[in-house]
Structure 1
Amino acid sequence: MATNMIKSKIIFVLMLFQYPYVKSAQSGFTTTKLSPQPLWNSTHTDKLRQDLLLNYDKFARPSQHFNATQVRLGMSIKHIEVNELKSSLTVYCWLRLVWNDEKLKWNPEEYGNLSVLHLAEHEVWQPDIYLYNGATTTAINHFGNTHCLAYPSGEILWVPPAQFTVLCRLNLRYWPFDTQKCYLKFGSWTYSGDQLDITNYNNNSEVELELLIDNSEWKITKAEQKIVSTYYECCQEPYPDFTVYLTLERISPSYSSIIVTPAFVVIILTMLNFWLPPQAGEKIVINGTAALIICLFMLYFTQKLPAMGTHTPLIVLFYTSSLYIVSFSMLGSVVVITLSRTKHSNTLPWIVKQTLSGKLGKYLGLGVYIQQTKMTSHRVTAEEMRDHQVTDFDDGNSSEEHHIIRPSSSTKPCMQQDWVLLAAAIDRISFIFYTLLFSILAIVYAL
């Protein structure tokens, strides 16, 4: 009996001690249930963001699975860069994306007539638009981290600055007067056309170029944008893409002074070589200078142009052919100098001399050399007549006169002048031949 009384007292005392804790716990529960008054006054934007994004899933497409989300794409190009060594094109632009998010609709009257809401790009669902022909694998980083604009109708506008580097098949055959055609192909990476439909932003076939900053080497002559739907063998549904076609023309006045002008200098030096006197040793110097100029430009082309298996630039082929021509011209100069300077023991064949002294020689501009040959021939003939010694031998047994003529060495100048005439004729014929050859090369490599 006494034991039960003691237990009852202990339980009563414990209940007295627990009562304050239970009271405080109940009061604490009541306090947490009622939201505390914030230290600042929340705006309509805060309330709208909380209501829209509280349970928002940015990884779920904001349409029913049987409805397609329409995304309108547009582009405004700011600047371009072409890298011939990597066969790539870099485009700096502003990309414009507009789509409708049914989960981000609100009534402006309930939020102080708030008509636009700024949201970070990582807070809302975004279409997975990628550059299909990108030169790098990190295509997702091409878009800048800019905010999106949300409207009460659920329309989302996102205009991120972007930098796209695409692979472009460059044809440098007509470098530096070439025109290149490249394209940028955008599309969804995971959604088909039944889930994400891509359309043109302003239904215009031309790309906006109002913000374009001129490039010092290239200019855009044509910029088109098209929507193309492709059906692959693996799937029955279409896959639309947004493709921008660019036609680029190289600005080449500077190349004309750097590359084309020296080509004319090489041609002139090679042609002047044939109008020097046949004995002039400067022929070798001029040809060597022309060959050195060509070799320097070949090294320049090696640094400037990529090593291409196809479409070798015509200007490179022209310089290569010119190097061969200058080499053969130097070989011809050596032959001409050798003919004109060597002391020959044989006379020039009569038929060759008669041909060069006739109309052919006049047509070749050999009048001076023909006149010198005739003057030398007349002078040598007179000297021979004076140098002829006639001696009479009177023998007792015979009355006949024997005339002994001693040949003079003065016939050698006449013989040497004939060979000079032949060397000059070779120069003139070579001039005509190389003029035709350079003309053919200029016509072929200019087309």
Structure 2
Amino acid sequence: MANILRLVVVVCGFCSSDVAFAGFTTRKLGPQPIWNSTVTDKLRQDLLLNYDKFARPAQHYNTTKVVFGLTIRHIELNEFKSTLVVHSWIRLSWKDEKLQWNSTNYGGLETLNLADHEIWQPDIFLYNSATSSGITHYGNVNCIVYEGGDVLWVPPAQFSVLCNLNLKYWPFDTQRCEMIFGSWTYNGDQIDIDPDNDGVKMELLIENSEWNIVDKSLKKNMKYYACCPSPYPDITIDLTLSRISPSYKALIVTPAFVVIILVLVNFWLPPQAGEKLILNGCTALIICLFMLYFTQKIPTMGTHTPLIVFFYSSCLYVVGFSIITSVVVIWLSRTKHSSPLPWIVKQPLTGTFGKILGLQTYIQQSSMTSHRVTAEEMRDHQVTDFDENNSGDEHHIIKSSNKMSLQQDWILLAAAIDRITFCFFSFLFLILTIVYSV
């Protein structure tokens, strides 16, 4: 019996020592706070404890109202990709029924900053985005939560939107692009999106060196689809952009007038001048360089080809015909003709029609040559005491004079072709200018 009592005492002492050691260990090794918690910490713990950020913060039969606004910072338009990049700030506000508290219970704390990944956010995305691989448009910034459950989120965003560009009037064109925002998964009975009172703001806009925003609008649309009875609201922002084109006037429009002048001046050179071909060749080279410039500056489009491209290509055709005309004129004026100019052609050219064309100089030269030949022939008939050598020389002079008179008539015809072509091409350039500038 005594042995049993001693055993019980030993066991009890051993157990009491273990408990004491365990208590000592707990007191020694337990977590010790190194800072004092604030009211904000307590509020965050109370709000976010068991908070599900993937569930819409309202009863399933209630609608979450989202107010949408946009502040544009900068724009970039890419003609080759038909995209508009908009750097902006988005303003989204909604009511989260799960984030409400009484400020009197938390030391008068009325607002709370929460990270965007900590709470629920409406899935408002750009429907006509050009970047389908990266659909998240917004930067990671905090949300401001008010004690009544109102949430304000103003993240920076970069949107790349597809635009249907019309470059017909390039470089004096105006483009219109749309940005369509809406919920990606919720219908109008779950999330209703409305524009705010400010709409599209541009106070912080950094000007673009090539484009101006001349008009903007923001409106709400309600769309119904055959699959679902509920509406799907969206916010459509229309941006009208006008190209800043003074530099293009110096680079493109002014050379166009120079090309026209070069083509027309060619027809006022003397008919025998071989410089006609050189001038036409230089003009064709200038036009080809501009066509290469256009291929680098604007995309090749199946529709809406710029009118300035049509104009330069038409000028290239005109220069081609001008080269053909110059070859004909040079051939007529330089070739030694054996047959005289037909009377039916020469008579109008030496009459009123020739004077209208400005051929007085060539008419006088032809008349002087003909008069000199007639005088020589008369003197040949009147004078009979020349010796044979003198008669031979006089006959040679008369023959040469006849050839000169014949050649002057063909030069007159070549000059007339130049003048007629000048009038035709002047009228043609006038038509091209009117058609391609409207």
Q: Distance in 1 between matches of 2:225 and 2:211?
A: 36
**Residue number in structure 2 paired with 1:43:** 38
- Which residue number corresponds to residue 399 of structure 1? none
| C-alpha distance in 2 between matches for 1:75 and 1:307 | 34
> 2:322: which partner in 1?
329
User: More displaced, 240-249 or 36-45?
Assistant: 36-45
CA distance in 2, matches of 1:233, 1:432: 64
| Contact 1:373 1:414 (C-alpha < 8 Å) held by counterparts | yes
Of residues 78, 84, 87, the one that matches 1:89 is 84
Secondary structure, counterpart of 1:338 in structure 2: helix
Q: In the alignment, what sits opposite 1:396?
A: none
- Do structure 1's residue 77 and structure 2's residue 72 form an aligned pair? yes
Distance 2:89 2:138 in 1: 9
Whether 1:18 aligns to 2:9 is no
SS of corresponding position for 1:91? strand
**Could you tell me how far apart the structure 1 residues matched to 2:27 and 2:56 are?**
40
Answer yes or no: is 1:220 the counterpart of 2:231: no
Please report how far the alpha carbon of residue 54 of structure 1 lies from its aligned counterpart in structure 2 after TM superposition: 1.8
Letter in 2 for 1:13: V
**1:102 partner SS:** coil
Deviation, structure 1 residue 23: 4.6
Offset of residue 384 of structure 1: 2.5
Find the counterpart in structure 1 of residue 436 from structure 2: 445
- Give the length in aligned residue pairs: 428
1:232-381 maps to which residues of 2 (within 5 A)?
A: 232-381=225-374
Residue type of the alignment partner of 1:102: E
CA contact under 8 A between 1:225 and 1:243: conserved in structure 2?
yes
Aligned to 2:427: 436
1:123 aligns with 2:134: no
Q: Of 144, 153, 163, which residue of structure 2 is paired with 1:149?
A: 144
Which 10-residue stretch deviates more, 251-260 or 52-61?
Answer: 52-61
Residue identity over aligned pairs, in percent, reads 63
What is the Cα deviation at residue 244 of structure 1?
A: 0.8
Output the amino acid matched with 2:417: I
Q: Structure 1: how far apart are the matches of 2:26 and 2:97?
A: 38
Contact 1:388/1:406 (8 A) holds in 2: no
8 Å contact from structure 1 (residues 133, 184) kept in 2 = yes
Displacement of 1:116: 1.2
Cα pair 1:130 1:139 within 8 Å, conserved: no
CA distance in 2, matches of 1:8, 1:302: 109
Residue pairs, 1:48-197, within 5 angstroms:
48-197=43-192
Cα distance, 1:172 vs. partner?
A: 0.4
Shift, 1:213, TM fit:
1.2
**1:255 aligned partner, one-letter code:** Y
For 1:47, the aligned partner's letter is K
Which sections of structure 1, spanning at least 5 residues, go unmatched? 393-404
- Which residue matches 2:391? none
What is the alpha-carbon distance in structure 1 between the residues aligned to residue 4 and residue 222 of structure 2? 87
The one-letter code sitting in structure 1 at the alignment partner of 2:144 is: L
**The residue matched to 2:118 in structure 1 has which SS?**
coil
SS at match of 1:142: coil
Unaligned stretches of 5+ residues in structure 2: 386-393
Distance 1:57 1:375 in 2: 108
**1:406 Cα shift?**
6.0
Mean alpha-carbon deviation: is it higher for 10-19 or for 296-305? Answer: 10-19
How far 1:26 moved relative to its partner?
Answer: 6.5
Q: TM-score, normalised by structure 2?
A: 0.93
Aligned CA RMSD, in angstroms, stands at 2.2
What residue is the counterpart of 1:395 in the other structure? none
CA contact 2:125–2:137 (8 Å) conserved in 1: no
Please, which of 421, 424, 444 is the counterpart of residue 412 of structure 2?
421
Corresponding residue number in structure 1 for 2:390: none
User: C-alpha separation between the residues in 1 aligned to 2:418 and 2:429?
Assistant: 16
Where does residue 382 of structure 1 map in the other structure? 375
> Structure 2 counterpart of 1:194, which letter?
D
Question: Quick one: which amino acid aligns to residue 188 of structure 1?
Answer: S
Cα offsets for 1:61-105 (capped at 9, x unmatched): 110011011110000111100000000000011100000011111
Residue from 403, 408, 412 that aligns with 1:412: 403
Cα deviation for residue 162 of structure 1 reads 0.6
Classify the secondary structure of the residue corresponding to 1:312: coil
Equivalent position SS for 2:303: coil
Cα pair 1:149 1:158 within 8 Å, conserved: yes
Query: C-alpha separation between the residues in 2 aligned to 1:184 and 1:320?
Result: 36
Question: Which amino acid in 2 is paired with 1:272?
Answer: V
Letter of the 2:431 partner, please give it. I
Is 314-323 or 38-47 further displaced after alignment?
Answer: 38-47
Q: Deviations over 1:165-198 (max 9, x none)?
A: 0110100011001110001111111111111110
Q: Secondary structure at 1:194's aligned position in 2?
A: coil
Shift in alpha-carbon separation, 1:187–1:114, aligned structure 2, 3 A: same
Q: Secondary structure at the match of 1:354?
A: helix
Letter of the structure 2 residue corresponding to residue 189 of structure 1: W
